[in-house]
Amino acid sequence: IYREVIDKERRGDYLGKTVQVVPHITNAIQDWVERVGSVPTENGRVPDVCIVELGGTVGDIESAPFIEAMRQFQFRVGHDNFCLIHVSLVPVVGAVGEQKTKPTQASVRDLRGLGLSPDILACRSAIPFAEGIREKLSMFCQVSPKQVFSVHDCESLYHVPILLQQQGIIDVLNDRLKLKDLVISTERRAEGDSLWAQWREFARRRARDLDEVTIAIVGKYTYLTDSYISVVKALEHAALNINRKVKLSWVEASDLEEGSKHKDPLKYHEAWQHMCAADGILVPGGFGERGVEGKVLAAKWAREHNVPYLGICLGLQVAVIEFARNVCGMPNAHSTEFRENCDEPVVVFMPEIDRTTMGGTMRLGSRPTKFQDSEFARQSKIKQLYAGADEVHERHRHRYEVNPEKVSAFEAKGLHFVGRDAETGERMEILELANHPYYVAAQYHPEYLTRPLNPSPPFLGLLLAAS
């Protein structure tokens, strides 16, 4: 947003006027929302409704320009085209479990002071509304009782849409945004009914007692598991789509290393016990040298003991390092990210990247990956998981890649790079090991495109193999 405004000023679009937060930044935010809101969906349809999340807390200095932009936006698009849902907390206080409405009253008052009046209150709480709470919120927040929703803790996150539907949110949105005036074909209505039925079944599975599959996540940020929230959701989506419940076993990569055996034997043996007991192993991305050797050991264990393995980003690179050391006779193989002058650089810096200016130099965003036209690639498990597609688009986030000079040596020993970048064919995107139940790794991040009803293929493959 800020760069866009600065570029306009440099081009002279503002004719020398003083560039300010209001109106220039706020106008740019509104233009951005309108532009994104009209982008067609994957099936080519232009959306009828665009949902925008305005994050943060009311009153935060960081969100002030965005709140002001939305205040102006409601007049730009008109009253019937703007609905504001305010998400607030109704805490449960004391031993008797009394629900308090004051925090919500205060936040709504602050929001009104900034020029926005909520149409709907979505009140988070540990328990459903007690008697009189909805009416009290309605009275003090100037919102109709039928527009105050209890979003209390459910069996799972996937039950929240069902909870809201049961309380009548569809009717409220229909009235507020005049959605009944839209002309919706019979085909689209049937598609919506089918999607809703699939969602209800998906949520029902989450609540059932399903067979468990244990996946060991060997990472370096396991003390804060939210670091891997996309990976966790991708595993959960894949598991529920095959009627399984995923049990996560968090393994700190550095605890697997030999040095940990002497430094903290208890953690060392616990880490190995968790990994050895897992039905599958996942090594996610990461930056920095700490824990890399532990990840290499995890890849080695999975390869030698036929345990299903999925590597993501750094997880692909450590699989290559391990294979080079223990199968290809390159004992000093490493990545130049961690050993700049190593004897056998099997993972190298991308040639077009400037080493001195690191900011904004990663290979980011959606890029095409093309499956190779080889016998192994055509029959590979990962291509079958992608429904036989010749090319897939996935999102990237990396600076280092497999050294193309070493690829022939790896493939001669059975580590096949079945997917390469579509632009040059020089970047190794997907690897798969021959004669293994499931040993797959990707340079991209497949977890970014997972959806509850459409799980990411590499994760689906891991769960199927681990089951």
Strand partners, 281: 216, 309
CA 316 to chain centroid: 19
Catalytic residue among 252, 401, 432, 447: 447
Is 313 an annotated catalytic residue?
A: yes
Is 334 an annotated catalytic residue?
A: no
Catalytic residue among 237, 313, 398, 401: 313
Is 447 an annotated catalytic residue?
A: yes
Catalytic residue among 86, 274, 396, 445: 445
Active-site residues, by number, are 313, 445, 447
